[in-house]
Structure 1
Amino acid sequence: MTDPARSTLPLPDYDHLPLGGLESRVRSLTADEVDALLTYERSHADRRPVTEVLSARLEQLRAGAEPTGGDPTALRPEQHGRTTGSPVSPATSPQPSSAPPHGTPDQRGKPKGDRT
């Protein structure tokens, strides 16, 4: 069952945004929209880092800051079609190496010089 308050939020998929994505996307919202997110956050997950970001942005807007350009409906940063994981595969991996032998009979140590 979906929460009716979630469907009215100014950012789609708000609950799934990482904190870094949220910080950049709230910059395009008005004070009323940020206030709606803050109210929703406090009554649901109440994540301290999120409430701090939203509160700080709300204070900026109330102090005269203007929303910046951006599209709150744009894809989330993690949805830009980038692949995840390492591009290394068995075909591109180097051959395994082992540590050099130490103290084997065929590798005699050299004298350290005259010690008197």
Structure 2
Amino acid sequence: MADRDTLPLPDYDHLPIGGLESRVRSLTADEVEELLAYERSHADRLPVTEVLATRLEQLRAGAEPTSGDPGAIRPEQTEGHKESPVSPVTSRQPFSPPPHGTPDQRGKPKGDRP
């Protein structure tokens, strides 16, 4: 059983499924088996085990490890939050619907009735 610190992908526990899918392409069948065993004994997330099992089948059928997708999402790329694109300038005008009635026919509160 592999320890988290000795896994073929050192940041495995923090990879989003899309990043994992492209990063496992660079692993050998033994390394994918190691990740699959680790996943099944820890979180056992169905989408992750499916990705790993599919890649393992491909490798056993003759596929060769590749360099993977260098542009794949990596946890180290998501550190630090960027500013929100929403600002007071770009946000819409506040709108409070009336307590009753429609926006073009405003209702009157009960206290104002004759």
User: Structure 1-normalised TM-score?
Assistant: 0.68
Superposed counterparts of 1:26-105, under 5 Å: 26-70=24-68, 76=74, 79=77, 83-84=81-82, 86-96=84-94, 101-102=104-105
Structure 2 letter corresponding to 1:101:
D
Which whole-Å deviations, capped at 9, do the CAs of 1:5-60 have from their partners, x for residues lacking one?
Answer: 11110101211111111111101111111011001111111111111110000000
- Determine what percentage of the aligned residue pairs are the same residue: 75
Larger Rg: 1
Conserved 8 A contact 2:18-2:73: no
Q: Which runs of 5+ in 2 are unaligned?
A: 98-102, 107-114
Q: Which amino acid aligns with 1:79?
A: Q
Counterpart amino acid of residue 33 in structure 2:
D
Unaligned runs of 5+ in 1: 104-116
Distance of 1:53 and 1:70 partners within structure 2: 14
Q: Which moved more, 1:78-87 or 1:8-17?
A: 78-87
1:84 Cα shift? 4.8
Structure 1 residues 61 and 78: alpha-carbon distance in aligned structure 2, compared to 1, 3 A threshold: same
RMSD over aligned CA atoms reads 3.0
Note closer, same or farther for the CA distance 1:44–1:77 as it changes in structure 2 (3 Å cut).
closer
Number of residues of Structure 1 aligned to a counterpart in Structure 2: 100
User: Alpha-carbon deviation of 1:82?
Assistant: 7.6
The separation in 2 between residues aligned to 1:8 and 1:82, in whole angstroms, is 26
The separation in 2 between residues aligned to 1:76 and 1:11, in whole angstroms, is: 11
